[in-house]
Chain A
Amino acid sequence: MEGDEEVLRELRSGREEAYERLLRSEGARMLAVARRLLQNEEEARDAVQEAFISAFRSIGRFEGGCRISTWLHRIVVNSALMKLRGRKRRPEEPIEHLLPRFRDDGHQVEHPSLDWHASADVLVERREVRELVRGSIERLPETYRNVLILRDIEELTTEEAAKLLGITANAVKIRLHRARQALRTLLDPHLRGHQA
């Protein structure tokens, strides 16, 4: 965001115009973040609303160690995760059937010898591929989906994700790997032999 210092000064002075400008410049992106995590429009809007209110009320405590947009992003992520924690937990589906399988000698059971024949840059130009990827991410069990979204899409560090999720950094690394493996398995039958 342009002129973070000026924006911060205006926000700290409590000018409503400054609040509104930040809401309008960053709000849509923040709503997209909350939607990805919550997959529920009403909850996503609530999470963003609560996050902005919390951010504006605590703007005096913002130390300026990062961009305002980064700080806001972390508050929105936290707000969405709190909503997830508040949901009634259902037993998660196992993920093992989406992970690679091995014979006793350690070789792969399946042979993914076919490449996907096109780079991500080419594949993502196709609407059906983008929808396939988004739909496949939604199919992942929540425990794995959250880590994948926080690390790969929202680009939090391992340590940031671990802190927000209340798990160890090592657990984040392992869950992320398994989530990517599961996603790869879900995409594989659709993208095998996909010609550019």
Chain B
Amino acid sequence: MSADPTRPSHVPTCEEVLTFLWAYLDGELEETKRQEFDYHLSRCESCTAYLETYKTTIALERAAASHEGTAPDELPDELVEAVLAAVRGPRS
């Protein structure tokens, strides 16, 4: 069998890929390292699945926070009044 011509001289392990996944996603890896990660990911189902669910996790965080449940429609009146009174200061 002939050697894979696309195989980089160093192929990172799953541990290396998942430890530095943030740098891969943020585009912080140097080009050679990024190609090594691409090679690993193109051949490792586990890491590919991990990458996809990692990205879905980030999207879910943002989406869940932007949906209802944490934001009231308005600031409570007493809080508005308290701020205005404090800024107004004591009146003689």
Contacts and interface: CB of A to CB of B under 8 A. Distances in A.
Nearest to A130: B64
Interface string B30-74: 000000000000000111011011101111111111010111111
B90 interface: no
A20 B46 CA distance: 53
A106 B74 CA distance: 52
A105 interface: yes
A131 B87 CA distance: 38
A29 B72 CA distance: 8
Interface string B2-43: 000000000001111010011100100000000000000000
A31 interface: yes
A153 B87 CA distance: 30
A184 B57 contact: yes
Interface stretch (A2-10, A50-58, A61-69): A50-58
A27 interface: yes
The secondary-structure label for the interface of chain A is helix
B73 A28 contact: yes
B61 A183 contact: yes
Interface residues of B, number: 44
Contacts, number: 153
Interface residues of A, number: 57
Interface string A94-114: 000000101001111001111
Contacts of B1: none
A163 B15 CA distance: 30
A52 B83 contact: yes
A181 B83 contact: no
A49 B61 contact: no
Interface in A47-90: 48-49, 52-53, 56-57
Given A16-B84, A16-B88, A107-B14, A49 B70 contact: no
A59 to B, nearest CB: 10
Interface string A132-166: 01100100000000001000110000000000000
Interface of B: 13-16, 18, 21-23, 26, 45-47, 49-50, 52-54, 56-65, 67, 69-76, 79-80, 82-84, 86-88
9 contacts: A49-B82, A52-B83, A106-B15, A111-B46, A119-B56, A120-B60, A129-B64, A137-B61, A153-B61
Nearest first, the 5 closest Cβ-Cβ pairs linking A and B are A106-B13, A27-B75, A120-B59, A124-B63, A177-B22
